Amino acid sequence: MKTSFKILDIFFISAAFMLTGCRAGDYVSYTDTIEVNGVELFYAAEGCGKPVILLHGNGGSHNDLETTHRDLAQAGYMVYALDSRGQGANPRLDEYHYRDMASDVYEFIKAKGLEKPAVFGFSDGGNIALQLEVMFPGTLGAIATSGANIFVEGALVPEFAEGFLAEPSDNPLTRMMQVEPVMTVADMQGIAAPALIMSGEHDLICQEHTRLVGDNIPAGRAVIIPGEDHGSYVCNSPKLAVLLLEFFEEIGY
């Protein structure tokens, strides 16, 4: 019986390698930490092939995108899921800024020697992805975001914004979201990478803001996902990988 299980295991592993186009020795799965800009970042890596970086939302961790991580790796991509500075498994901080986190991801890309990786960011992660390409033009090969915003005023749905922006918070991550990011339409117009800018039909981000971002990126488009809220199709949902794989196929990534 033990021998049979080993044979089956080898069969399924070999089938997975055939589906991804990877050789057995190329496919990896591990976790590690890296120091960038004086902070430590935890990350999980899996797969082989073209690089894709996954960025979670405010106060979350790479675990929120575990399903997408696995599905993209099995589809033939080398996937890196990062914990943003001061979040997830990383030591907490007293102050946060999107520009710092964008710089962290840029330094991660350089340290890993990644050539024009695709980046998907959820909520804060999407803000970081866009901020990175604004700060370091030409770094990314593709950008996909869900529930991202480029500025605060007018970007949030009114029923959420009224309470969220009413009073300063004791949480430094919340304080950041109340005043940042600070990007412009002109910044979006300077992004050359193909971009898929998504939000849910019932998102915390206004549909008009999502369209503003997507329509002003020259190779970008905005997509409103029917029936979904801010994270329902993102956090450990199989729906997200389907959307990303369609996007990658469309742009030849």
Asked if residue 7 is part of any domain, the answer here is: no
Asked if residue 17 is part of any domain, the answer here is: no
**Separation CA 112–CA 72 (nearest Å):** 19
**Separation CA 166–CA 68 (nearest Å):** 34
Q: Which two tokens stand for residue 251?
A: 């742009």
Asked if residue 122 is part of any domain, the answer here is: yes
Asked if residue 12 is part of any domain, the answer here is: no
How many separate domains does the chain show? 1
User: Does the pTM of the predicted model rise above 0.85?
Assistant: yes
Asked if residue 183 is part of any domain, the answer here is: yes
Asked if residue 3 is part of any domain, the answer here is: no
Q: What is the CATH number of the domain that holds 216?
A: 3.40.50.1820
Q: Which two tokens stand for residue 206?
A: 């206004």
CB of 189 closer than 8 Å to CB of 213: no
Q: Sorting pLDDT into bands at 50, 70 and 90, what band is 10?
A: very low
For 87-121, how does the pLDDT look when each residue is reduced to its tens digit (9 = 90+)? Answer: 999 999 999 999 999 999 999 999 999 999 999 99
For 141-168, how does the pLDDT look when each residue is reduced to its tens digit (9 = 90+)? Answer: 999 999 999 999 999 999 999 999 998 8
Asked if residue 14 is part of any domain, the answer here is: no
Cis status of the peptide bond prior to 172, with omega within 30 of 0 = no
pLDDT of residue 167: 87
Q: Is 159 buried (19+), middle (13-18) or exposed (0-12) by CB count in 10 A?
A: exposed
- What average pLDDT is seen over the chain? 92
Domain that holds residue 30: 25-251
